[in-house]
Amino acid sequence: MDRLRPRQRQIPVFSGFTKAEIEKMEKLLVEPRELLQSKEFCQKIARSFSSSSGRAGKPIVKWTEVQSWFVARQQESTSKVPSLNGTSKNQCRIPEICPLNNGHQSSEILRGVVSNVGEKVPDLSELEFEAKSSKDGAWYDVDMFLTHRVLSSGEAEVRVRFIGFGAEEDEWVNVKKAVRERSIPFEHSECHKVKVGDLVLCLQERRDQSIYYDAHVLDIERKMHDIRGCRCLFLIKYDHDSSEERVRVRRLCRILGQQHR
């Protein structure tokens, strides 16, 4: 999974559709959500629009623009998430798509999912989340929670969509082990907060990819700051492959909930 962990929070919706194109897409809203957001379906619609006489002299339509329009309309039509208290393991009252940028809906989803396994959850309003991919063990920003389930073992899972990626990259992830509040990059002036033994989120930069993994700080070489900012070097060990390297503070993020000494 060669992908850079996106930092954007929202993708702007294309506003250059013609009236006829909008009317056609509105008629398609009765189709299944997964179909409307699939790459193949949106490519077909985009090709149809781009080759129509009504688009003569106008820019071609990209399939991602069609997909974004469907996602935005589906989010608008998503009703308020009902209370999940008392929901049994065999019931799911969560709408199929609940955008993460709606803090109340996101809170209710995680609160309801975790409460199914007897956990108490604090106020989650207006939080942003990241999830650990089972494909490469890296952490990515979550765009939306799609639905949830409780396994026979009693463990809760949520199906997430990562920011910047389509439905084909959706994953089921463990709520307790692979979902957490979004980590925050350290500022240059905060390097003193990083201590040996700390668990941090570190950007692993390789020739073909740059993605974020959990890592532990093994050693710190403190240096004087200059006009460029912090020049300290942090020796870290990645949890997923046990490799080590020295990095600058710009590649480190603070994992919320971790106790820094």
Q: Largest Cα–Cα distance in the chain?
A: 66
Taking only the tens place, the pLDDT of each residue in 217-252 is 999 999 999 888 899 999 999 999 999 999 999 999
pLDDT for the residue 205? 86
- Give CB contacts under 8 A, 24+ apart, made by 160-168: 160/131, 162/6, 162/131, 162/133, 163/6, 163/8, 163/9, 163/11, 164/3, 164/6, 164/8, 164/11, 165/3, 165/140, 166/37, 166/38, 166/39, 166/67, 167/34, 167/37, 167/38, 167/39, 168/38, 168/39
Q: Is the pLDDT of residue 69 over 70?
A: yes
* Amino acid in the structure at residue 73: R
In the three-class reduction of DSSP (H, G, I as helix; E, B as strand; rest coil), residue 192 is classed as helix
Of 101 and 212, the structure prediction assigns the larger pLDDT to 212
Taking only the tens place, the pLDDT of each residue in 148-159 is 888 888 888 888
Which range, of 18-22, 103-107, 242-246, averages the lowest pLDDT? 103-107
Q: What is the pTM of this model?
A: 0.58
pLDDT for the residue 128? 82
C-alpha distances in angstroms, 224 versus 29, 227, 228, 244, 254?
59, 10, 11, 23, 22
